[in-house]
Amino acid sequence: MEKSYEIDICGKKMAVSTGKMARQANSILVKFGGNGVLITAVMNKNPVEAVDFFPLVVDVEERMYAAGKIPGGFFRREGKASDKAILNARLTDRPLRPLFDKNIRNEVQLIATVISFDQDIPYDVSLINGASTLLYISDIPFDEPVGAVRIGKIGDNWIVNPTYSEIEESIIDIIIAGTEDAILMVEAGAKEAPEEIVIEAIEKAHDEIKKIISFQREFKKIAGKDKKETDKFVLNVDVEKRVRELAEEKIQKILDEIVEYSENEERKALLDNTERGFFQDKVSVLKEEVEKELEKEFPDDGESIDISFKELERELVRKTILEKGIRPDGRKPDDIREIKCEVGLFPDTTHGMGLFTRGKTQALTILALGSIREAQKIESLGKEEFKRYIHHYNFPPFSVGETWPLRGPKRREIGHGALAEKALRPMIPDEDKFPYVLRLVSEILESNGSTSMASVCGSTLALMDAGVPILNPVSGIAMGLIKDDKSDKYVILKDIQGIEDFYGDMDFKVAGTKNGITALQMDMKTKGISLDIIKEILKKAREGRLYILEKMLEVIPEPRPTLSKCAPKITTFKIPKEKIGDIIGPGGKNIKSIKEEFNLDEIDISDYNGEGIVSIISSDDENIAMARKKIEGMLKSIDDIKVGEEFLGTVVGITNYGAFINLIPGVDGLLHISKVANKRIKDVKDYLKVGDKVLVKVENIDSRSKKIGLERTDI
């Protein structure tokens, strides 16, 4: 039996219904504006073997029919998930995962299928709200609902769930998800937004989140199911006790040693002078010893041994940070690891390169510049898109001293690349000022926490090294949190490393310029944090990223004054879209002729975002300028020609009184013999011949006969 409910979110309706579609699964149909998303959730009856985590999978399937389109390609059907679908799946997963019981071992899969697409309103927020509503009313153990909204700001006006066009105008595009009491997830891009605006956006969002959660509670009253029992992992208390007996004092001794070293300048170097870090290396050896000992006593309890050791390690690390203010690598909470920056590693071959090293995290970013025709065409549910700024992120196994098969980018790599792209995009100069396509690739060479923010810093270095006139340099930092639930005492950590991410309560990445924030991403491992803590985190994050930015600018204080000598020289200009065919000519005849005539490397004319775009590439600036004049002349008719305009013309005839110069197809002008040279001459043929190229300017146009008089400008 179908059951439905509706809520008004600041003038926009969101409706949910269940019981009509996909009835062999838990299912819900979410309608938001013209968007329609069918979300299903299924939990396997049997637990997954040999996993030590809750196996949750979220997939988003974008169907082209949702926008009335037929997919391109030979097969005319959707292939692998688009980057946008993967990012939306991650966006949905992140606020839901912390609210599940981590001891559940039954796999839960959510599949969201976009069956109707609104060209004006994004569907991503409705995914989170729909998924939470579905899980809350389903038979799957999930007891605390989540709400999510997007916030924008245009001028002084705040907008809840803005349209695509409003997002383009807004100073901030921020999605916030949370429970009634706390914030769970933040994802934002901004145009150098001050911290105060971010805080205000979160405050406004939380008011709407509470309404959405209330809506879910009401819907559960009419559509809720009884929750299923699951076979949860149960820790063997005897194993836990033995692990504590064997390891607690030894782990604490290692931590006490680190505290002692942190206070002694001569011994501080020992903390970092190991393969992965003093603490990780020492504890790794101890763990192997404990596992070897306990496998004899508890041969069938490997998972309990592993989890007991990790929980003990987590407890003692957190205790040392909370009580003594010392981290596993000897740093205090506000300390940032040693930073090293380099640029120009291969100036004779690459367009731009930046190497950013922070502790044992290292990102190498390389920039390649190309013409507008190399922009990435995005086939999506929305309007056809062309990306001229592309950021890719690669995380190879050697960066963590491991091995695994290379099978293309994983979801995490796509997500980190998108975050770095979001952080830098507002600082990329407009196409009119910088007519290039930019592709940045961040290669993570070492990883021990916050590689995405390292890639932001490395990318800024690469852009400035190449001479790209970015508006302002961008740096990034990852913030962490250790919070004691019993006492409510907490410690905020700057520049978290891997172990602090793993054992901490939060990963809050903040990127921005000296003026404000350009990107945010916050994920929680607990059930959220208060707005007051977020305010404090953002304040400390600003201090941290400005410190990192200062270190970067010591190496390269501003973009180089000229582009790399390896970069192509490109001039780009717009032409009427309907003139593209005329300029290209039959079979490309005109373009080929111009390319040969001016010895150009490349000339491209394409339809880019609904406009005709001409890109001329050459190492010779003069040839570029003459080719442009030639093409611009081809766009004109005789009625368009004005006195004072310059043309690169071709001599088509010579008489005893001057030379006839072809300006545009079908239109000639007369260069009088007195204008052929800067002195008196007797014979035009001594100075010009048919076929010569001449720069001329229109001196006069006879109003009746339309005859054009020219003067020469290249003498």
CA atoms within 13 A on the CB side of 270: 14
Residue 237, amino acid: V
User: Which of 291, 324, 357 marks a domain boundary?
Assistant: 324
The lowest-confidence range among 67-71, 294-298, 342-346 is 67-71
119 belongs to a structural domain = yes
Distance of CA 558 to the CA centre of its chain: 23
- Tell me the pLDDT tens digit for each residue of 419-432: 999 999 999 999 88
Burial class (CB in 10 A: 0-12, 13-18, 19+), 203: middle
231 belongs to a structural domain = no
Q: What is the pLDDT averaged over residues 678-688?
A: 91
DSSP string covering 132-159: HHHHHHSSSS--S--EEEEEEEETTEEE
Q: What is the pLDDT of residue 197?
A: 96
User: Which of 160, 195, 223 marks a domain boundary?
Assistant: 223
Whole-number Å distance between alpha carbons of 212 and 171: 25
Whole-number Å distance between alpha carbons of 436 and 428: 10
> Is pLDDT at 672 greater than 90 in this prediction?
yes
Which distant-in-sequence residues (6+ apart) come within 8 Å of 596 by Cβ? none
Burial class (CB in 10 A: 0-12, 13-18, 19+), 182: middle
In this structure, the answer to whether residues 190 and 98 fall within a common structural domain is: yes
Tokens (6 digits) for 336 = 């940032």
Q: Kindly report the CATH number assigned to the domain that includes residue 597.
A: 3.30.1370.10
Considering only residues 571 and 453, tell me which one the structure prediction assigns the higher pLDDT: 453
563 belongs to a structural domain = no
> Is pLDDT at 307 greater than 90 in this prediction?
yes
Q: Kindly report the CATH number assigned to the domain that includes residue 673.
A: 2.40.50.140
Burial class (CB in 10 A: 0-12, 13-18, 19+), 290: buried
312 belongs to a structural domain = yes
> Is pLDDT at 267 greater than 80 in this prediction?
no
- Tell me the pLDDT tens digit for each residue of 630-656: 888 788 777 788 899 888 889 999 999
- Tell me the pLDDT tens digit for each residue of 563-597: 888 888 888 888 888 888 888 888 888 888 888 88
- β-bridge mates for residue 539, sequence order: none
User: Which of 578, 605, 628 marks a domain boundary?
Assistant: 628
523 belongs to a structural domain = no
| Residue of 546, 550, 557, 553 lying closest to 195 (CA atoms) | 546
The lowest-confidence range among 69-78, 196-205, 364-373, 441-450 is 69-78
Whole-number Å distance between alpha carbons of 43 and 291: 32
Tokens (6 digits) for 172 = 């901030």
Whole-number Å distance between alpha carbons of 178 and 129: 10
> Is pLDDT at 272 greater than 80 in this prediction?
no
| Residue of 686, 691, 690, 659 lying closest to 675 (CA atoms) | 659
Q: What is the pLDDT of residue 275?
A: 66
First to last CA, the chain: 88
Look over the chain and give the mean of its residue pLDDT values, rounded to a whole number.
92
Q: What is the pTM of this model?
A: 0.86
Whole-number Å distance between alpha carbons of 303 and 320: 26
- Tell me the pLDDT tens digit for each residue of 391-411: 999 999 999 999 999 988 999
In this structure, the answer to whether residues 35 and 146 fall within a common structural domain is: yes
In this structure, the answer to whether residues 280 and 219 fall within a common structural domain is: no
Strands 183-193 vs 26-32: parallel, antiparallel or unpaired: unpaired
| Residue of 497, 503, 451 lying closest to 278 (CA atoms) | 497
Residue 386 pLDDT grade (very low, low, confident, very high; cuts 50, 70, 90): confident
> Is pLDDT at 665 greater than 80 in this prediction?
no
CA atoms within 13 A on the CB side of 213: 19
In this structure, the answer to whether residues 379 and 470 fall within a common structural domain is: yes
In this structure, the answer to whether residues 268 and 120 fall within a common structural domain is: no
Whole-number Å distance between alpha carbons of 632 and 612: 12
Residues 182, 186, 192, CA angle at the centre, nearest 5°? Answer: 130
Q: What is the pLDDT averaged over residues 107-121?
A: 95
Considering only residues 413 and 578, tell me which one the structure prediction assigns the higher pLDDT: 413
Q: What is the pLDDT of residue 273?
A: 65
* Cβ atoms of residues 190 and 104 within 8 Å: no
Residues 543, 549, 552, CA angle at the centre, nearest 5°? Answer: 150
453 belongs to a structural domain = yes
Domain region containing 384: 339-481+542-555
Q: What is the pLDDT of residue 336?
A: 96
Residue 370 pLDDT grade (very low, low, confident, very high; cuts 50, 70, 90): confident
In this structure, the answer to whether residues 84 and 153 fall within a common structural domain is: yes
* Cβ atoms of residues 326 and 320 within 8 Å: yes
Q: Kindly report the CATH number assigned to the domain that includes residue 418.
A: 3.30.230.70
- Tell me the pLDDT tens digit for each residue of 468-520: 999 999 999 999 999 998 888 999 999 999 999 999 999 999 999 999 999 99
The lowest-confidence range among 14-18, 458-462, 598-602 is 598-602
- DSSP class of 205: H
Q: What is the pLDDT averaged over residues 211-226?
A: 95
In this structure, the answer to whether residues 296 and 266 fall within a common structural domain is: yes
Tokens (6 digits) for 654 = 């010579």
| Residue of 99, 132, 127 lying closest to 187 (CA atoms) | 127
Question: What percent of the chain stands above pLDDT 90?
Answer: 70
644 belongs to a structural domain = yes
Whole-number Å distance between alpha carbons of 574 and 53: 55
Using DSSP's 3-state secondary structure scheme, residue 439 falls into strand
Q: Which helix (H) or strand (E) holds 410?
A: none
* Cβ atoms of residues 287 and 36 within 8 Å: no
State how far the alpha carbon of 76 is from the alpha carbons of 39, 59, 70, 578, in Å. Answer: 24, 21, 7, 29
* Cβ atoms of residues 354 and 460 within 8 Å: yes
Dihedral in degrees, nearest 10, Cα atoms 601, 607, 610, 611: 40
In this structure, the answer to whether residues 316 and 346 fall within a common structural domain is: no
Domains in the chain, number: 5
| Residue of 42, 35, 32 lying closest to 10 (CA atoms) | 32
493 belongs to a structural domain = no
Alpha helices, H only, 20-123: 83-96
Whole-number Å distance between alpha carbons of 594 and 582: 13
Phi then psi for 6, rounded to 5 degrees?
-140, 145
In this structure, the answer to whether residues 58 and 205 fall within a common structural domain is: yes
Longest dimension (CA), the chain: 113
Q: What is the pLDDT of residue 23?
A: 94
Question: What percent of the chain stands above pLDDT 70?
Answer: 99
| Residue of 286, 281, 215, 191 lying closest to 244 (CA atoms) | 286
Q: Which helix (H) or strand (E) holds 117?
A: none
> Is pLDDT at 17 greater than 90 in this prediction?
yes
Tokens (6 digits) for 14 = 């969101």
Q: What is the pLDDT of residue 566?
A: 83
In this structure, the answer to whether residues 122 and 243 fall within a common structural domain is: no
Q: What is the pLDDT of residue 631?
A: 86
In this structure, the answer to whether residues 373 and 477 fall within a common structural domain is: yes
* Cβ atoms of residues 513 and 195 within 8 Å: no
Task: Specify the residue for token string 């819900």.
Answer: 28
- Tell me the pLDDT tens digit for each residue of 44-103: 999 998 788 999 999 999 999 998 988 887 788 888 889 999 999 999 999 999 999 999
In this structure, the answer to whether residues 382 and 398 fall within a common structural domain is: yes
